[in-house]
Structure 1
Amino acid sequence: MAGVLAFLAAVLGVWAGGFPLSFYNDFPIAGWHWVSLLGPYNEHLVRDFGATMLALLVFTVWAWRTPTVEKLRVTGWAWLVFSVVHFLWHMLHLGVFTTAHKVGNVIALALILGLAVLLVVPDRKDDIKGHS
């Protein structure tokens, strides 16, 4: 779980932080416009999202590479705080999307939220042994 979240944070963080206009126009793939449909371009906002992802990446890699139950739970809570707010905002702004893109948004955001929840749940022994 931590490994998947780290990968997602790296991709999103580098893309939004380093190439904010491309992220705005092309996320999740060219032609889908999941970000640009939600309002005018704001470089500061997109770069801040990228920076948030990169900060979560650092934290997640640290917990994943030297795992303890406590580190994985705290990392899960950090992701959960971000993911709940992000998920709820997007659920309230799905009206601009086609049905297929609404479903895609919900699935993508729920996946990250679900992975965060899994890091928070009590038994993390398998993650500590296997570096999920």
Structure 2
Amino acid sequence: MAVTEGVDREARVRGTVVGILGVLAAGHGAAGMWALAVPLVFYEGFPLPGHPWVALLPPYNEHLVRDFGALNLALAVVLVGAALRADRATVRLAAIAVLAAAVPHAAYHALHLSHFPPVDAVTQTAGTVVHIAVLVVVLVLSGRLEER
């Protein structure tokens, strides 16, 4: 009975981690494709019409927006790979790779809010902090995955 419970618990953790990685990959992939396909539209409209967070930090730079898109597509690939393998080392590597981009990104935005309406400043800051917190949860949960 104890062995079965352990297997079930590990399967639940694996399912949770795979689900989180899938959601993260979808978000990074969507942002990446948007920024690569139509960089000016991304610049003027991310994340929603009427809330142009990127445009509030001018000037527009097509190269920079496309590089941001390419980085996000690369992170999506890493996250998908980790979800498919779902072993401790790969999941940790993926989470750390995304954190390597997410932490300085969040810090920059937290220090450059003067051009933002209050609701956008709060929403953007909360979004970047939640993103980091979710990645930390993945790191913690990865300790319960088997090593391969």
When normalised by structure 2's length, the TM-score is 0.81
Secondary structure of 1:38's partner? coil
Q: Tell me how far 1:124 sits from its aligned partner.
A: 3.8
- Sequence identity of aligned pairs in percent? 40
C-alpha separation in 1, matches of 2:59 and 2:143: 43
Tell me, which stretches of 5 or more residues in structure 2 are unaligned?
1-19
Q: 2:86 is matched with which residue?
A: 67
Amino acid at match of 1:94: L
Q: In the alignment, is residue 123 of structure 1 matched against residue 143 of structure 2?
A: yes
Aligned length: 126
| Higher Rg of the two aligned structures | 2
Q: Tell me how far 1:14 sits from its aligned partner.
A: 0.5
Q: Tell me how far 1:113 sits from its aligned partner.
A: 1.1
Q: In the alignment, is residue 7 of structure 1 matched against residue 31 of structure 2?
A: no
- Runs of 4+ in structure 1 off by over 6 angstroms are none
User: Which runs of structure 2 are paired with 1:50-129 in the superposition (5 Å)?
Assistant: 50-121=69-140, 123-125=143-145
Deviation string for 1:3-44 (max 9, x for gaps)? 111011111010111111011000001111100010110000
- 1:27 paired residue among 41, 46, 49: 46
Amino acid at match of 2:35: A
C-alpha separation in 2, matches of 1:53 and 1:19: 14
RMSD: 1.3
Tell me, which stretches of 5 or more residues in structure 1 are unaligned?
none
C-alpha separation in 2, matches of 1:116 and 1:17: 24
C-alpha separation in 2, matches of 1:117 and 1:38: 28
C-alpha separation in 1, matches of 2:51 and 2:27: 18
C-alpha separation in 1, matches of 2:128 and 2:144: 23
When normalised by structure 1's length, the TM-score is 0.90
Secondary structure of 1:36's partner? coil
C-alpha separation in 1, matches of 2:120 and 2:52: 10
